Chains A and B, each alone.
Chain A
Amino acid sequence: MKDLSVGELGMVYELPKGGSVEALQNVSFDLRAGRLLTLLGPSGCGKTTLLNIIAGFLAPTSGSVTLGGDSITGPGQERGMVFQQGALFEWQTVSQNVAFGPRMNRKKRSETETLVRDLLSTVGLQGFGDKAVYELSGGMQQRVALARCLANDPEVILMDEPLGALDALTREKMQGLILKLWQETGKTIILVTHSVEEALYLGDRLFVMAPRPGRIEREYELPFAKEGLDVDPRAMKASPEFIAKREELLSLIWEMEEQIMGHEGAMS
């Protein structure tokens, strides 16, 4: 198991019309293996940029990211990725999608078949292997994406608003699945979300990020994810502790939004 270390990360986007935007400024943190970190913040706070840098899709302007001491310079299969939607291969069946990673690594076909069957039942899709992905609902497609990511047994799973396109009920169910996978596999997960409730419920660590420049504004250690599977999720989300945290975060984010709006309001 490898720890993730992010050191003094800076990211500056040059604008085509001149000038620049500081998407990240001096972002540093260490993430022990096996933790579930949620990133929350208003749009433009750099949370997706941070995720893309850790995934290796973007090179930071300054600073570095290391996983188990090895610095990250590009995408790699020890860091799996789950996107919001549209990243499944629609020309392949559900099974073929899940088998993609092992196939690229030229793993034995029989082993892969067993693995795919196990993973499909883990995410609750047994019997759907031969379906085309576009025949599935949005929630089921995200189950496929999770299984596909797990097939390569990554150290870290990066999720970019994985439940953002789902309806509220499916979303709650999928939050349960993510918690279950986290507890069963013990993988490190970093999850970007817009939903305060989701960030609280899933994160055993939570960063609230702020824009202009993008930075970590506040950090929380949370108890909910660890208990999340043992108690009824609705009851947990209705508990006084949860509601208190939720309101605290909401007012923090509202404050930021006010500042941004006020800033823009002053200009207009």
Chain B
Amino acid sequence: MTVLSRFRPAGRNRSAGARKTVTFGDASEVKGSPSWSVASLIFLFFVWWWIKRGPDPMINDRTFPSLRQSWDAFFELVDIGYRRVGLWDHTWASLWRVLKGLIYGVVVGVPVGFAMGLSNRLRGIFDPVVELLRPVPPLALLPLFIVWFGIGEGSKVNLLFFAAVWIMVIAARAGVLGVHGSKVHAAYSLGASRWQILRYVILPNALPDIFTGMRVALGVCWGTLVAAELTGTTTGLGAMIFAASKFFRMDIVVVSIIIIGVIGVAMDLVMRFLERRLIPWRGKG
């Protein structure tokens, strides 16, 4: 019961008229506060406005653009794009690379993670590979990837794949190892074959972990994107940042950063929505 009640939707206790007297340290009572989030955002913009106020601001316009400049830069990007590529095309190029990297990461990482969670031999085989390569920063591999996969899309998508795949391996492995022994035993006693246990017990049991892995990997992919777009392309938000920095267009740099942040948040919201729809049983085992 206590486990269940921890995952009960927020606020139910209150609507029932009951009021807890102990809330500090009670995780079920901490659900965030939208109004404080809005206030926090407003405060951030206020600080931005504050340091840029007046004719002689604390930080000059070349180093850090004002709200107004950034606003204008955003509409300049929307209207005419940057370096003859529209803002939407830059955004789409980056989004597509991130999605491809993530999808390849899932397609390769989940089976490898499952294999590592299911077989001693495969665990032995993959362990050194995963543990050696996992801590390597993707950027360190960029020179190799450019030589191997070319300066174009190949090296970029592979770099993002590299950023995502280890996270997916570990998430999938954790999902397999998290399966309750009695569930597997029950399935065997009900006549399930190995394959059926994999498909109908282990996979659904691992889905919540896989989903968490995808959310983490998505964030890491956006983090790697700018490095991936360092060279060999004129499209993408990362490429835009680098080109703009060479011309000291800090307004465009700032706008690109905000766009990446907003897309990251939007994608995480989409993932959370999908999670609620696709795996409503999360945390209820």
Contacts and interface: CB of A to CB of B under 8 A. Distances in A.
Contact of B185 (A87, A88, A149, A151): A87
Contacts of A138: 1
Nearest to A167: B1
Interface in B168-191: 180, 182-183, 185-191
Given A57-B185, A86-B180, A89-B204, A100 B190 contact: yes
A77 interface: yes
Given A91-B205, A132-B281, A86 B182 contact: yes
A76 interface: yes
B4 interface: yes
Interface string A1-45: 000000000000000000000000000000000000000000000
Interface string A89-109: 111000000001100110000
A152 B182 contact: no
B40 interface: no
A242 interface: no
Nearest to A148: B190
B203 to A, nearest CB: 9
Contacts of A90: 281, 284-285
B220 interface: no
Interface of B is mostly: helix
A179 interface: no
Contacts of A86: 180, 182-183, 285
Interface residues of B, number: 25
A87 B190 contact: no
A246 to B, nearest CB: 29
Interface in A47-91: 55-57, 74-77, 79-81, 83, 86-91
B99 to A, nearest CB: 26
Contacts of A132: 280-281, 284
Given A83-B182, A87-B183, A75 B189 contact: yes
B156 to A, nearest CB: 36
B205 A104 contact: no
A88 B185 CA distance: 11
Contacts of B204: 89, 91
Most chain A beta-carbon contacts within 10 A, residue among B1, B191, B207, B281: B191
A156 to B, nearest CB: 10
Contact of B190 (A56, A77, A83): A77
Interface of A: 55-57, 74-77, 79-81, 83, 86-91, 100-101, 104-105, 132, 134, 138, 148-149, 151-152, 154
18 contacts: A55-B189, A57-B185, A75-B188, A79-B189, A80-B189, A81-B185, A83-B185, A83-B186, A86-B285, A87-B180, A87-B182, A91-B207, A91-B279, A100-B190, A101-B191, A134-B284, A138-B1, A151-B190
Given A86-B180, A138-B1, 7 more contacts: A87-B183, A91-B204, A100-B200, A104-B200, A132-B281, A149-B189, A151-B190
- Interchain residue pairs A-B with the least CB separation, the first 8: A134-B284, A77-B191, A75-B188, A101-B190, A87-B182, A91-B204, A81-B189, A87-B186
